[in-house]
Amino acid sequence: MTVYTPATLAKKWECSERHVRNLITSGQLPSFRLGEKLLRIRGEEVEKFECQIGASHDYEENIASPGKTRLESGAVISLEQPIRKKRTAAPRLDMRN
């Protein structure tokens, strides 16, 4: 039976350990504890999760992590720039009126 730590799974998926822990906290990735602190993920659960998201062994190509973007089908990206209000310049103090 294969068992992963959040760190080893993050390395496999090329994402952050925090991302793996967030998946566990949200209930998307089942895990168990050894003692009070040691968090582990069964290999079977990892395979189920990868199948759910449509990934194979190339999970890193599908995962959204820093520097990478994953879009759901039908996603719309707005290319409009936000409108910024111009700030009025502060009066210069070094000049006389």
Q: pLDDT tens digits for 39-65?
A: 999 999 999 999 988 754 454 454 544
Q: Where are the domains of the chain?
A: 3-61
Does 79 have pLDDT greater than 70?
no
Instruction: Could you list the beta-strand ranges (E) of 14-94.
Output: 32-34, 38-42
pLDDT of the residue at 85: 67
pLDDT of the residue at 78: 57
- This prediction has a pTM of 0.55
Band of pLDDT at residue 94, cut at 50, 70 and 90: confident
List Cβ neighbours of 37 (8 Å cut-off, separation of 6 or more). Answer: none
CATH match for 3-61 among 3.10.20.740, 1.10.760.10, 1.10.1660.10, 2.70.150.10: 1.10.1660.10
Of 61 and 16, more confident:
16
What mean pLDDT, rounded, does the chain reach? 77
Q: Is 65 exposed, middle or buried (0-12, 13-18, 19+ CB in 10 A)?
A: middle
